[in-house]
Amino acid sequence: MNSILSKVVFEVKEQTFLKDPQTSDLGNRILETGIDLINEIGFDAFTFRKLAKEINSVEASIYRYFESKHKLLLYLTTWHWSFTEYRLEFALANVPSAKERLTRAIKLLTSEIEEDFHGVDIDVVKLSNIVIIESSKAYLTKDVDQENEEGIFIGYKQLVKRVGQIVLEINPEFKYPNMLISTVIEGAHNQRFFAEHLPRLTNVVKGEDAITEFYLKMVFKTISK
């Protein structure tokens, strides 16, 4: 699994790092401990200084890999989207029915990751939490347009497009496939956050898989003729 991963996972990220963190021990510690720390204290409070202390190194060393903490966040989110697309590929492979494929895709996009992915050093569960809470901060910036030009969000767009195309297979006349899918992805993030922190904004009861159920129903009803 590892070799395929390596092949699939590392796509668009060249713009986000100065030196590929996956190629050295220090780089990997930056990623692993970085994910832990962002999870723990939140991205706003996260600084390279604190991370450096945590990995018994210094800020200057981290700057060899990432230009800024914002770029590190971009790296993590693009990694996450590449990884998600890779998982999607596997989940949909050899499934002929478009409806079944869309079902699987929505499930994958709206459920929590639980499995352990061998061959990946990165803690995908924690990373997924970061994506839920912090990823929107990665694009809600004055720099979006420039970063978009640099192709940093390609992974996300590809994913949306790909699932959107399944929608079109089912209903070729549906006008807003991308809008629907990005609503589902961002919505699932929000609902998961609301469920934990602002429960009156959602109707999720802990333990149940309400989010997935809701979005599945929503998608299929919305695209029905």
Partner DNA sequence: GATGAATGAGCGTTCATTCAT
Partner DNA sequence: AATGAATGAACGCTCATTCAT
Q: Residue 194: name its binding partner from its own copies, DNA, none (Cβ under 5 to 8 Å by kind).
A: its own copies
For residue 71, the minimal CB distance to DNA (Å) is 8
Identify which of residues 41 and 91 has a Cβ nearer to its own copies in the complex. 41
Asked if 104 touches DNA (CB under 7 A), the answer is no
Asked if 139 touches its own copies (CB under 8 A), the answer is yes
Q: Are the C-beta atoms of residues 98 and 166 closer than 8 Å to each other?
A: yes
Identify which of residues 58 and 144 has a Cβ nearer to DNA in the complex. 58
Among 41, 58, 89, 209, binds its own copies (CB under 8 A): 41
For residue 96, give the 3-state DSSP assignment: coil
Q: How far is 56 from 172, CA to CA, in rounded Å?
A: 55
DSSP secondary-structure letter at 172?
T
| Length, in residues, of the chain | 225
Asked if 27 touches DNA (CB under 7 A), the answer is yes
Asked if 165 touches DNA (CB under 7 A), the answer is no
Asked if 68 touches DNA (CB under 7 A), the answer is yes
| Tokens at 143, concatenated | 């720099």
By rule CB under 7 A, what count of residues binds DNA? Answer: 22
Among 1, 4, 58, 201, binds DNA (CB under 7 A): 58
Q: Position 135: which residue type?
A: S
H helices of the chain, in order, are 2-9, 25-41, 48-54, 59-63, 69-92, 98-110, 124-139, 144-149, 154-170, 177-197, 210-223
Asked if 137 touches DNA (CB under 7 A), the answer is no
Among residues 68, 55, 49, 4, the alpha carbon closest in space to that of 28 is found at 55
Please state, as a whole number, how many other Cβ atoms lie within 10 Å of the Cβ of residue 90.
12
Q: How far is 94 from 61, CA to CA, in rounded Å?
A: 45
Interface of this chain with its own copies, residues 156 to 195, rule: CB under 8 A: 156-157, 160-161, 175-180, 182-183, 186-187, 190-191, 193-194
| Tokens at 108, concatenated | 């994958």
For the chain, the straight-line distance linking the first and the last C-alpha, in angstroms and rounded, comes to 40
For residue 124, the minimal CB distance to DNA (Å) is 24
Residues that bind its own copies (CB under 8 A): 41-42, 44-45, 133-134, 136-137, 139-142, 144-145, 148, 153, 156-157, 160-161, 175-180, 182-183, 186-187, 190-191, 193-194, 197-198, 200-204, 210-211, 214, 217-218, 221-222, 224
Residues that bind DNA (CB under 7 A): 19, 23-27, 45, 47-50, 56-61, 63-64, 67-69
